[in-house]
Structure 1
Amino acid sequence: MSDPTTILVDPQVERDDADAAAMALYLQLFGDGTIGPHLFGTGEPRFRVHDAMLRERGILALGLHASGHRWVADDEGAHLVDGGPENGIFSPYNGSFRIRCPDCREMLAPGEDGSESLEEALAVWCEAPNSAYVVCPSCASWTPLVDWRSPGHDFAVGHFAITLYGAHLRGLAGGRDHADTALRHRLGDLASDFVLVFARA
């Protein structure tokens, strides 16, 4: 059975800055003992979590994503290089999600009537993210894909993201618990701007 994951996606980091953001957080978390420096396991690159409080909450590994880059091992631990499958789209692997128009708040999902613009924007995002716009079939507004949000926390796009492997930390969506706020801050989300996606890996 696949493991639950909590993904925090930063919608503001530009593609050219994503690798620097991921590397900076890696060095910070390795330096303070939150994670180990070495990649482990097979499949998606991840780092073992050593922090006792995170492990008590079910988080056993952490992944850092930067669009257009991949992690490789080195003598000191790991570093990012160009290339790899990271495209900055985060959703369930079956591709099912629903997102809300930032203007009129109507919902839209792939495969529904009027979703052609959404499907085109997803394809454009991978090559030219700044040109990925969605035309809302309800209000006809033309807005960036990155501004569309999923009330069910099952979709986000962004060039830098953090995956917490082992649990769905749904408290992060509420922002009322001190421990959840502290965790967001620890991961660099000082203004609670990162978009949450709950998925499985």
Structure 2
Amino acid sequence: MLYDAPRGESTSLLMSDATTILVDTELERDDAAAAAVELYRRLVGEGSIAPLPSNPSDPCFPVLDDPLFAESGVRAIGLHASGHRWREDGTGGAVLIDGGRENGIFCPYDGSFCIRCPECNQPLAPGDDGSEALEEALAVWCEAPDSAYVACPSCANWTPLTQWRSPGHDFAVGHFAITLYGAHVRSLTGAGADHAATLLRHRLGDLASDYAVVFGRG
């Protein structure tokens, strides 16, 4: 369910199961690893997730006895930081280290997504007339994220790739993300959001409830 990154870059990792991904589109790359480790330690300390991933090649942490996650259908949680990967630390836990396939692009493998200009709300998808700037921005993101801007073919404004949103919840970029495996948690989109959805966001550190939501279609 993730973009096949341009110029031969590797992709981030997702299971083929139904997934909901919360993407922090504002956090700086240098702060992403610390955010992932902090959330990991808190969730492990609370007894919400197992300290070791269920599969080293697919690093998601099984949910333990946690009613909030269980009621949402979430069975495991993945914590993603650009340019980092999880491995066992030799003491029964996990450690986040440099390297790995995380590039912070979250969208379908085939690149079939649609996003809207933050200035004029015009939709844009790969392959559309004028989408060359989008495709270039995706390539730039993998190497120099702060320089990844998109020129809207409709209003001609240049805006950061991180500000473009997907009405279908099938695209976002960000250096820190949380994958909820096992369910499409629709209440997180804001349409019909409820108290439980707010609690879930807060539990995962999204205190402002502004992380972008992407659904893996499994």
TM-score, normalised relative to structure 1: 0.96
Question: What is the correspondence of 1:161-176 to structure 2 with a 5 Å cutoff?
Answer: 161-174=177-190, 176=193
CA distance in 1, matches of 2:193, 2:178: 21
CA distance in 1, matches of 2:30, 2:22: 19
Aligned position for 2:145: 129
Distance in 2 separating the partners of 1:93 and 1:45: 19
Q: Does 1:114 align with 2:154?
A: no
RMSD: 1.4
* Superimposed CA distance per residue, residues 4-25 of structure 1 (whole angstroms, 9 cap, x where no aligned partner): 1000000111001100000000
The yes-or-no answer on 1:87 pairing with 2:103 is yes
Aligned: 1:63 with 2:78: yes
Point out where structure 2 has 5 or more consecutive residues left out of the alignment: 1-14
- Residue equivalent to 2:4: none
Percent pairwise identity: 69
1:17-28 to 2 correspondence within 5 Å? 17-28=31-42
CA distance in 2, matches of 1:43, 1:84: 11
Matched with 1:31 is 45
The answer on 1:72 being equivalent to 2:123 is no
Structure with more strand by fraction: 1
How far does residue 40 in structure 1 lie from its aligned partner after superposition?
Answer: 1.1
Partner of 1:198 in structure 2? Answer: 215
Q: Distance in 2 between matches of 1:42 and 1:3?
A: 17
Query: 2 CA distance for matches of 1:173 and 1:96?
Result: 20
State the partner residue of 1:103: 119
Distance in 2 separating the partners of 1:86 and 1:36: 21
1:42, distance to aligned residue in structure 2 (A): 5.7
* Local SS of the residue matching 2:52: strand
Gaps of at least 5 residues in structure 1 are none
Q: Is the 8 A contact 2:68 2:196 kept in 1?
A: no
The amino acid across from 1:189 in the alignment is D
Decide which of 40, 51, 61 is 2:54's aligned counterpart. 40
SS across alignment from 2:42: helix
1:52 is displaced (CA, Å) by 3.1
AA partner of residue 25 (structure 1): L
**Deviating 4+ runs (over 6 angstroms):** none
Structure 2 counterpart of 1:4: 18
TM-score for both structures, normalised by structure 2: 0.89
151, 154, 163: which one pairs with 1:147?
163
Q: Deviations over 1:61-94 (max 9, x none)?
A: 1000000000011113101110110000001222
